[in-house]
C-alpha cells in the first residue's frame, strides 16, 4: 500500500468514526455502575479481566462499601475475598482501598474531576481516568485506548505504537475532538463483534474497503509478536 498522507489518513479516520456511529451510536458500557464512585471502581477492577467478571463481583462489593467513606475503612484482605474471582485481585483490592482513602482525605469523599488528580490515585492510569471523565463528568480529555481500540487502530494503520497508552496521541491527531467521546465504547463493540483478536470477520466487515489489513489479519499478530520479541531481546541484553 502506498505511503498515506496525513490528510488522507485523517479523512479515513473520520469515515471510520462515521460508520461506527451509524452502527453503534448510543452503545452503552458493559460495566454496571450508577455514579462516579461505582464507575471508578468498576473500571479499576476491569483491567485484564472481562466486564462480565467484574459485574459478577460488584453487586456485593457495592453492598458492603457503597461509597468512598465505607471503602476507605475496609480491610484490603476482605475486599480481596469479594473480588477473588477476577484477575490481580490482591493488587486491585489494595488499590481500591488506598484510592478511597485519598478521595476521602483530599477530595471530601468526591471522585476528582481532573486527569491530574485521577491519575494520582493508586491503580488509576490515563485509560481509566479518560473513561471516568468522559462518562461520569462529560469531560473528554482524550481517548481511552484499551486492547480493542489498540488492535483496531493498529490494523487500520492509525498507529505504529507498541502499547495502548502510546497509541493514544496518534489517534488524537487523526480524530477530531468532537468525536473522541464515542470512540472507546463503539470500537470496543466493533472489536468484540467483528475485528476480533483471533479470527476477525474480515469478509463481513463494514470497514473492509478502507482497512489496509483487510484479508491479512495475521499481519497484526505477527507485528505485535515481533515487537514483543525485540523487547525480550533488549531485556536479555540488559540482564
Cell numbers standing for residue 103? 478521595
C-alpha cell belonging to residue 20: 461506527
Q: Is 233 part of the annotated catalytic residue set?
A: no
- For 115, the 3-state DSSP assignment is helix
* 127 flagged as catalytic: yes
Q: Please give the Cα distance from 232 to 59 (Å, whole number).
A: 40
**Dihedrals phi, psi of 65, to nearest 5 degrees:** -130, 80
Q: 215: Cβ–Cβ under 8 A, 6 or more apart, which residues?
A: 202
Catalytic residue among 9, 23, 120, 146: 146
Contact in structure between 14 and 202 (CB atoms under 8 Å): no
Out of 9, 11, 32, 127, the active site residue is 127
Nearest in space to 16 (alpha carbons), one of 233, 219, 212, 196: 212
Number of Cβ within 10 Å of residue 185's Cβ equals 21
Which residues does the annotation mark as catalytic?
127, 146
Amino acid at each position: 500500500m502506498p505511503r498515506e498522507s496525513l490528510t488522507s489518513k485523517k479523512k479515513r479516520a473520520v469515515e471510520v468514526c462515521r460508520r461506527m456511529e451509524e452502527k453503534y451510536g448510543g452503545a452503552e458500557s458493559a460495566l454496571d455502575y450508577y455514579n462516579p464512585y461505582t464507575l471508578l471502581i468498576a473500571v479499576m477492577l476491569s483491567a485484564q479481566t472481562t466486564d462480565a467478571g467484574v459485574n459478577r463481583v460488584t453487586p456485593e462489593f457495592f453492598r458492603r462499601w457503597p461509597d468512598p467513606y465505607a471503602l476507605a475503612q475496609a480491610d484490603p484482605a476482605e475486599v480481596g475475598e469479594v473480588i477473588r474471582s477476577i484477575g490481580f485481585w490482591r493488587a486491585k483490592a489494595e488499590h481500591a482501598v488506598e484510592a478511597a482513602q485519598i478521595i476521602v482525605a483530599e477530595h471530601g469523599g468526591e471522585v476528582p474531576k481532573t486527569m491530574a488528580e485521577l491519575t494520582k490515585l493508586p491503580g488509576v492510569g490515563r485509560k481509566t481516568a479518560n473513561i471516568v471523565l468522559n462518562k461520569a463528568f462529560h469531560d473528554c480529555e482524550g481517548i481511552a485506548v484499551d486492547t480493542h481500540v489498540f488492535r483496531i487502530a493498529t490494523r487500520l494503520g492509525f498507529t505504529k505504537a507498541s502499547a495502548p497508552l502510546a497509541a493514544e496521541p496518534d489517534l488524537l491527531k487523526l480524530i477530531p475532538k468532537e468525536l473522541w467521546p464515542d470512540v472507546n465504547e463503539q470500537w470496543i463493540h466493533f472489536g468484540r463483534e467483528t475485528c476480533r483478536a483471533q479470527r476477525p470477520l474480515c469478509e463481513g466487515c463494514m470497514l473492509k474497503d478502507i482497512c489496509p489489513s483487510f484479508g491479512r489479519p495475521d499481519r497484526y499478530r505477527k507485528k505485535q509478536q515481533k515487537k514483543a520479541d525485540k523487547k525480550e531481546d533488549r531485556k536479555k541484553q540488559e540482564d
